[in-house]
Chains A and B, each alone.
Chain A
Amino acid sequence: MMRHRRIAGRQQAAAWLLAVSLAAAGGAVAGDTAQAVEYVAVPAGLLTSVLSGGSAGNLPVKVNPFAMRSEPVTNREFQAFLAAHPEWQRSEAPPIFVSPNYLRQFSGPESAAALARQPVTNVSWFAAQAYCESENARLPTWYEWEYVAAADERRRDARKDPAWRARILAWYAHPSSSHASIGGKANAYGVRDMHGLIWEWVDDFNALLVSADSRDQGDPEKLQYCGAGAISLQDRENFAVLMRVALLSALKGNDSTNDLGFRCVRNANKEEQ
C-alpha cells in the first residue's frame, strides 16, 4: 500500500502541491519569503538517538517542542531568496561560504520549470542557514531531525519496524543525478520527504563527531576531544540514519553536494539562547 510512495504517492500529491506552490510563490515578493510556507507543530518528546548523549546507557534525550517546515526548501523558493538576497547568488557568495558546485543546477540543462518543485540541493550549510534566517527560522538540530525522521505515516517512532527500515534504506541503493519533486506522503507529524528524496543539513552538522573508534585510552588523538563522555553510535541496526550521520560528519560548512538539501524549523516558544 504505502510501500510504493516514492513513485505513486508523489504523482498523486503533485496536483494539490502545485496549487500550494502557486500560493507560496505569490507570497514571495521583494521581502523575505516568510508567509505561505507551512510549518507544522512538533510536540515535545523523548528521543532515543542513534548518537549517544554522552551518558552511559544512552538515556533518551528531551526534544523541546518546535515547528518544522512540512517540506524541504525547493529550487523555486531558493531562487526567490536569491532575488531578495543577491549576496547569496552563485556569482557573489564567497568561497568561505560556498564551494564551486554551489547551485550548479541553475546553470545545468534542466529547465527552471522542471527544477521548481524539486528540493534545492548543492547548497552549503552557510547558505542554508541564511535561507532559514530569511524565514525567521533556523536549521533543525540533529536531534530534531532524527526525532521527526523516526516517524512513518502512522507512528511517531517506527524505527523498530524492520519493514520500515528496509523501506527507507532502499532509497540509498538508488543513487540518482536528478531529484523527484517534493510531496511524499506526510508522516505522523504531517512532515514530508524526510526519507527517500535528499540528504539534509542540520544546524549542528559539525557536532556529530563520532569518537567510539578514536578515543582509545592512551591514544594521543583523544586530546582532540574535550568532554567527559564518549560519543558513540548507538542502535547500529539503524543503518539508514547512521549513513546520514557519517555523511554530515564528513562535511565542511561550505561544502555542497547534489543530494544535500535542507528544511528549516522554528522554536515553538520564544526562548532563543
Chain B
Amino acid sequence: MKPISRFILSAVLLCGALTAAVPAQAAAAEALPATSLYQLPVKLSNQDGKAFRLSELRGKPVLVSMFYNSCEFVCPMLIDTMRMTQQALDQPSRDQLAMLLVTFDPARDDVKALHTIAHQRELDKQWTLARSDAASVRKLAASLDIQYRKLQDGQFNHTTVLVLLDGEGRVVGSTRKMGAVDPEFLQLLRTTVGVTAK
C-alpha cells in the first residue's frame, strides 16, 4: 500500500502548489481569452435572488472561493480570511475587487440562506454569495481546482483555497493559507487590481 498512499499524498500536495502567476493583460475588446473561466456557461443566483452568468463578472478582478453554510469550522474562517485579505487593501483598491463565494450545497443553501449569511457576517456590497445547479457547481470547482465531496452526514469535505481571477476571468494565483493574510497573495492582489484600474 505504501507507494499508492504516497502517490495520493503527493497528488493532493501537488494541487496545493501555488498557481503560476499570469500577467494580467489590459482587457481585450470582445472575445474572452482562451484561458478565461468565464467561458464556463454557468448561471448563478446571488443572495438577493438575482440571476447572473459567470461572464457578467468580467471587468473587475474577483477574489473567489467555494464554501457551504452548514460548515462549522473552516468555512467561517474562510470568510474571515477573505475579508481580512480584502481589508488589507486600501479603499480604492477594495472598490476594484469583487468578492465571490459559491456554495457547494445548493440543495440546502438557498437564496434566503445566502442572504442571511451576507447579513450576519456584515459583508459589504462587493460580496456576492451565489448558488448554482449541482452540475455547474461541479464544473466551477473543477475549473478552480477545488475538490469537494459530500459525506454521508451531509457535510462536505473540500479544499479551502482563495483564487484570484483577473478582470478577464483568468486565474492569476491562489492561496491556501487560512486564518491570516498571505503576504505574497496580497502582493499579487495589489498588482492585479492596480493593472486593472489603469
Which residues of A come within 8 Å of B, CB atoms?
A: 53-55, 59, 61, 94-97, 125-126, 129, 138, 203-214, 221, 223-229, 231, 233, 236, 239, 242-243, 245-246, 249-250, 252-253, 272-273
Contact = CB atoms under 8 A, between A and B. Distances in A.
Given A129-B139, A207-B147, A223 B34 contact: no
A246 B7 contact: yes
Nearest to A62: B152
A206 B141 contact: yes
A253 B149 contact: no
B157 A211 contact: yes
Secondary structure dominating the interface of B = mixed
B146 A227 contact: no
Contact of A204 (B34, B149, B155): B149
A214 B151 contact: no
A32 B130 CA distance: 31
B91 interface: no
A253 B138 CA distance: 10
Contacts of B142: 125-126, 205-206, 252-253
B147 A250 contact: no
Contacts of A236: 1
B151 A95 contact: no
Contacts of B14: 250
B70 to A, nearest CB: 10
A24 B107 CA distance: 37
Given A96-B143, A206-B147, A214 B153 contact: no
Residues of B in contact with A, size category: 35 or more
Given A228-B151, A249-B11, A95 B35 contact: yes
Given A94-B34, A213-B8, A242-B4, A273 B134 contact: yes
4 smallest CB-CB distances across A and B, nearest first, come from A54-B151, A253-B142, A227-B157, A207-B149
B118 to A, nearest CB: 19
Nearest to A252: B145
Secondary structure dominating the interface of A = loop
A24 to B, nearest CB: 25
A263 B161 CA distance: 31
Interface stretch (B44-52, B71-79, B93-101, B184-192): B71-79
Contact of B4 (A207, A229, A243): A243
B74 A226 contact: yes
A56 to B, nearest CB: 11
Contacts of A55: 151-153
Interface in B134-179: 134-135, 138-139, 141-143, 145-153, 155-161, 176, 178-179
A224 B143 contact: no
Contact of A97 (B1, B13, B39, B146): B39
A213 B39 contact: no
Given A95-B34, A227-B151, 10 more contacts: A54-B152, A54-B153, A94-B34, A126-B142, A206-B141, A233-B5, A246-B11, A253-B139, A272-B134, A273-B133
B135 A53 contact: no
Nearest to B6: A213
B36 interface: yes
B29 interface: no
Which of B67, B107, B176 has the most chain A CB atoms inside 10 A of its CB?
B176
Interface in B1-50: 1, 4-5, 7-9, 11-14, 16, 34-37, 39-40
